[in-house]
Amino acid sequence: MGKLRVLELYSGIGGMHYALKGSCIPAEVVAAVDVNTTANVVYKHNFPSTHLWPKTIEGVTLNDFNKLAFDMILMSPPCQPFTRIGLQGDVSDPRTKSFLYILNILPRLDKLPKFILLENVKGFETSSARNSLVETLEECGYRYQEFLLSPTCLGIPNSRLRYFLIAKLQPGLFSFETTNQILEVFLNSDSVDSNASKVSDCTHKELPACINGMKTSKPDDGAEPSSRTLENEAVIFKLETAEDLERKQNQDSDVSVRMLQDFLEVDLQNLSQYLLPPKTLLRYAILMDIVQPTCRRSVCFTKGYGHYVEGTGSVLQSSLDVQLETAFKSLHTLSDEDKLNQLLMLKLRYFTPREIANLHGLPPEFCFPEKTTLKQRYRLLGNSLNACVVARLIKLMVE
Ligand SMILES: C[S@@+](CC[C@H](N)C(=O)[O-])C[C@H]1O[C@@H](n2cnc3c(N)ncnc32)[C@H](O)[C@@H]1O
């Protein structure tokens, strides 16, 4: 097979590009399109020779698309119109306009791409946008398969449940039986399993995230602890019930998932930059998802991480001299000053952008330009994707 020509839409910081590299499929990104200036600076920094179009997708004409003669589309359209906690504007949200434009362009292309992969949030599967996508694919003669997957199914200790669709132009066949059901595990077909080590061999050597074989348990749903009600549930400590604690203990004892410590920076420079400030500790400590380096879980890192505290991602207890339970149990009886002293002993800190990049399966060579601020880094990473999960899907789609 010659090199596949790949079009990367909504390219952001290039998560799809890294996934493509990780898949080891002979391919090149012939164009990447994104309208976000900050993301584009990061993309260009990491992929200086890729043709990046800093414009809206609606601004790319049918003629421009035809000239690219691409074989594959990789895309992660804006997810805000489909998030469970958002307004769910779906196709009437202006942010879906570019996606509908792509659906309109697709049947009119001189040559249909052989492969299409789409990533979005959980919630997309019940949207009208998804229905339009599937209708268009069927009209154009594609077979497709939908998934809901989290990186935990690859042994990566991070919940990031996402919707994926892979499509292949007929007469091309997938190496597995497609089903109308949304698959919540990677398929255990021989072809996928036997290739698991191959993906990891060529995927970012020092990166621990992609080394694992596949796990076939159902993914957790990545729900944030603060998003549910606590009525009728006895709180043990830190607003957590026995059920919460049991779930977390189960996750932490699941040895098919790696420990967070494998993803942490070893000699962290500027630790103080990442420590949670006193005001935040006093106001929000009780709501935060706190993990230790030996934990095998973390909640989804969103674009507000490091800025908003509640439900945006886990924080790390970097001093293990004090037990979390001990620090929290008597907290409500203390004065603010004593409360703070007790919390400070835990040395709670944010994960660094590099550590989140590690959890996302971005390779060691991925980096931010110096000028990208910390807030921008968290924001861009929160919008990105897990490159290991997508690498697996690309392989499954093409083989
Ligand atoms: C969910 S993020 C995708 C992130 C990307 N996969 C990554 O790894 O960083 C959606 C991206 O679409 C871009 N975007 C949104 N609307 C767009 C449009 N109409 N044209 C081009 N890019 C758009 C945003 O700037 C954002 O970077």
pLDDT tens, N- to C-terminus, the chain (399 residues): 689 999 999 999 999 999 999 999 999 999 999 999 999 999 999 999 999 999 999 999 999 999 999 999 999 999 988 887 766 788 888 889 999 999 999 999 999 999 999 999 999 999 999 999 999 999 999 999 999 999 999 999 999 999 999 999 999 999 999 999 999 998 754 333 333 333 333 333 333 334 333 343 344 444 434 444 444 556 666 767 888 889 999 999 999 999 999 999 998 989 999 999 999 999 998 889 999 999 999 999 999 999 887 789 999 999 998 888 888 878 888 999 999 999 999 999 999 999 999 999 999 999 999 999 999 999 999 999 999 999 999 999 999
Count how many residues are written for the chain.
399
Closest CA to ligand 1's atom 18: 56
Q: Write down the pLDDT at residue 311.
A: 81
Q: Write down the pLDDT at residue 362.
A: 98
Q: Write down the pLDDT at residue 235.
A: 62
Closest CA to ligand 1's atom 5: 12
Cβ–ligand 1 distance for 382 under 6 Å, the answer: no
Q: Write down the pLDDT at residue 380.
A: 98
Q: How far is the CA of 259 from the centre of ligand 1 (A)?
A: 31
Terminal-to-terminal C-alpha distance of the chain: 11
Q: Among the atoms of ligand 1, which is closest to the Cα of residue 10?
A: 12
**Complex ipTM > 0.90:** yes
Cβ–ligand 1 distance for 134 under 6 Å, the answer: no
Q: Among the atoms of ligand 1, which is closest to the Cα of residue 75?
A: 6
Neighbours of 109 (CB within 10 A): 15
Closest CA to ligand 1's atom 13: 10
Q: Write down the pLDDT at residue 1.
A: 65
- Given a contact cutoff of 8 angstroms between Cβ atoms, the answer to whether 80 and 86 are in contact is yes
Neighbours of 171 (CB within 10 A): 7
Class of residue 146 by CB neighbours under 10 A (exposed 0-12, middle 13-18, buried 19+): buried
Tokens, residue 148: 């809901």
Q: Write down the pLDDT at residue 213.
A: 36
Q: How far is the CA of 384 from the centre of ligand 1 (A)?
A: 9
Q: Which residue has the tokens 């935990």?
A: 152
Q: Write down the pLDDT at residue 67.
A: 98
Backbone angles phi, psi at 5, to 5 degrees: -95, 120
Cβ–ligand 1 distance for 302 under 6 Å, the answer: no
b/e map of 35-49 (b: 16 or more CB within 10 Å)? ebebbbbbbbbbbee
Cβ–ligand 1 distance for 78 under 6 Å, the answer: yes
Please calculate the CA angle 141-25-219 and round it to the nearest 5 degrees. Answer: 75
Residues forming beta bridges with residue 162, ordered by sequence position: 121, 149
**Closest by CA position to 117, among listed 225, 17, 227:** 17
Q: Write down the pLDDT at residue 188.
A: 57
Q: How far is the CA of 377 from the centre of ligand 1 (A)?
A: 15
Verify whether residue 79 is a known catalytic residue.
Answer: yes
Q: How far is the CA of 281 from the centre of ligand 1 (A)?
A: 33
Cα distances from 74 to residues 10, 108, 337, 387, in angstroms, run 9, 18, 52, 12
Cβ–ligand 1 distance for 59 under 6 Å, the answer: no
Closest CA to ligand 1's atom 20: 56
Q: How far is the CA of 34 from the centre of ligand 1 (A)?
A: 5
Closest CA to ligand 1's atom 10: 78
Best mutation site among 6, 8, 10, 160 for ligand 1, i.e. most ligand atoms within 8 A of its Cβ?
Answer: 10
